[in-house]
Amino acid sequence: MSQGFETKFADAPKNCSGQRKSTQVADIGSIQQSLVGHFADIKDPRVERTKKHQLTDILVIAILAVIAGAQGWEDIENYGISKQKWLEEFLALPNGIPSDDTFRRVFEFIDPEALNRCFLSWVETLVTKTGGEIIPIDGKSIRGSYDRNQGKSALHVISAWSSEQHLVLAQMKVEDKSNEITAIPALLELLDITGSIITIDAMGTQTEIAKKIIDSKADYVLALKANHPTLYHQVEQWFETAVAEDFQGIDVSYDQRIEKGHHRTEIRQVWSARVSALGELYQPKVWAGLQSVVMVVRERRLWNKTTREVQFYLTSLHSDAQLLGRAIRKHWGIENQVHWTLDCTFAEDSCRIRSFHSPRNFALLRRIALNALNREQTYKRSLRQKMKRTGMDNDYMIRVLSSCFIDSTLDSSQPLCQA
């Protein structure tokens, strides 16, 4: 259907009278205009004589297909063919559905920087203020994107993740023969992180990155490992001595969490202390804003064994073990809810798209799809089931698109009951 409608869901909330409460959904024409508007700045890389299909049609079909689970160019073409009658209601399609080769050639040469700018502009319309939010930053290699014959290594990208809003906020490619140390500052430039807490693994534990975060009026929690050997061993030895003496005479903050699930019990203990408690810390002034050091002990009890892991952190936050433990725990969200999902639900690592700009552009399409599926909250199923339903049910695809490509004022946010 090309006009507004309501889709009924078995698990839709009820109003005061016990009736199912409908959720407002935009018409597909408005969604298409909004979607095209967000990506209007992308220049068509093709020469005029080869433009048998409109660039906007190619972009829209590709985005919809990836939301519905497409993992390559043939999948995108098949989605278009399967949905051609519906797509013709709001797309021009002057020569029918583009072939898989057309999709491939276009995304090989679309400027990935331009596509990334459009992605950032779109995300800005979705996120609310991130002040006080925990934003993990971490990198991921797309393993199938290497090309041995061309001597091309796998694409490595770093992402920033909104732990509260469940959105990929930004993505940055790590340049060849470089690493995350140079890419993280560039990623931070793309974000307004004022008032946020930035968590980064050991690779990003660098003095310049800490300064960049503080200059942006944010706070950091940085993993401390053996890539800073002097500081690491000093902090490690201090905590060992303090624990042995039961922190006598030391102002320490402590928190413990016990979680059970997946046939295991995990006990997390967090200690934090002010930097001044450590005495002569190695070069403390090079770490902008450094206030506290943290030790986390994780004990996992399985049916056949028990494992124990100890990690240390540097932070610009005050010594508050409960807050710091939550921030450190939230950092795993980018591993579980982004990287793991991209691999297991979107099959990113097994994807062999690898020519020219296509690996980077297709990676961004996956992150658009991930954000779109996360935004839709009425269908309480797994991400994989939501993805499958968008491919089967055009009404549900429109509901997903309404959640992220139409102004939020269109969403129904009225309270269920009036006082």
pLDDT of 109 above 90 = yes
Given this model, what pLDDT does residue 25 score? Answer: 76
pLDDT of 332 above 70 = yes
CATH of the domain at 288: 3.90.350
381 domain residue, yes or no:
yes
Given this model, what pLDDT does residue 6 score? Answer: 37
Calculate what percentage of the chain has a pLDDT beyond 70: 91
Beta strand 252-261 with 264-274 is: antiparallel
Given this model, what pLDDT does residue 15 score? Answer: 43
pLDDT of 383 above 90 = yes
416 domain residue, yes or no:
no
Integer CA distances (angstroms), 155 to 100, 111, 139, 168, 375, in order: 22, 16, 10, 18, 27
Residue 374 and residue 243 share a domain: no
Residue range 271-292, pLDDT digits in tens: 999 999 998 889 889 999 999 9
Q: Which of 344, 368, 401 is the last residue of a domain?
A: 344
The answer to whether the CB of 177 falls within 8 A of the CB of 153 is no
Structural domain boundaries enclosing 87: 28-111+357-410
6 domain residue, yes or no:
no
Residue 277 and residue 154 share a domain: yes
415 domain residue, yes or no:
no
pLDDT of 251 above 70 = yes
Confidence band, pLDDT 50/70/90 cuts, at residue 24: low
Residue 174 and residue 74 share a domain: no
Residue 191 and residue 53 share a domain: no
Confidence band, pLDDT 50/70/90 cuts, at residue 132: confident
Residue range 333-350, pLDDT digits in tens: 999 999 999 999 999 999
Residue 330 and residue 288 share a domain: yes
Residue 396 and residue 325 share a domain: no
Q: What is the mean pLDDT of residues 373-396?
A: 97
14 domain residue, yes or no:
no
Given this model, what pLDDT does residue 70 score? Answer: 98
Q: What is the strand order of the sheet 252-261 is part of?
A: 167-173, 155-162, 134-142, 197-200, 219-224, 306-315, 292-301, 264-274, 252-261
The answer to whether the CB of 312 falls within 8 A of the CB of 224 is yes
Q: Which of 313, 344, 375 is the last residue of a domain?
A: 344
Cα separation of 389 and 139, whole Å? 30
Give the number of domains in the chain: 2
Residue range 356-373, pLDDT digits in tens: 999 999 999 999 999 999
195 domain residue, yes or no:
yes
Residue 278 and residue 138 share a domain: yes
Residue 136 and residue 267 share a domain: yes
Residue range 164-173, pLDDT digits in tens: 999 999 999 9
pLDDT of 14 above 80 = no
Q: Which of 312, 344, 376 is the last residue of a domain?
A: 344
202 domain residue, yes or no:
yes
Per the prediction, the chain carries an average pLDDT of 90
Given this model, what pLDDT does residue 407 score? Answer: 55
Residue 366 and residue 253 share a domain: no
Residue 330 and residue 313 share a domain: yes
pLDDT of 74 above 70 = yes
- Give backbone dihedrals phi and psi of 374, rounded to 5 degrees, phi first: -70, -30
Residue 317 and residue 260 share a domain: yes
Residue range 204-231, pLDDT digits in tens: 999 999 999 999 999 999 999 999 999 9
Residue 91 and residue 201 share a domain: no
418 domain residue, yes or no:
no
Q: What is the mean pLDDT of residues 232-261?
A: 96
Q: Which residues have CB under 8 Å from 413's CB, separation 6+?
A: none
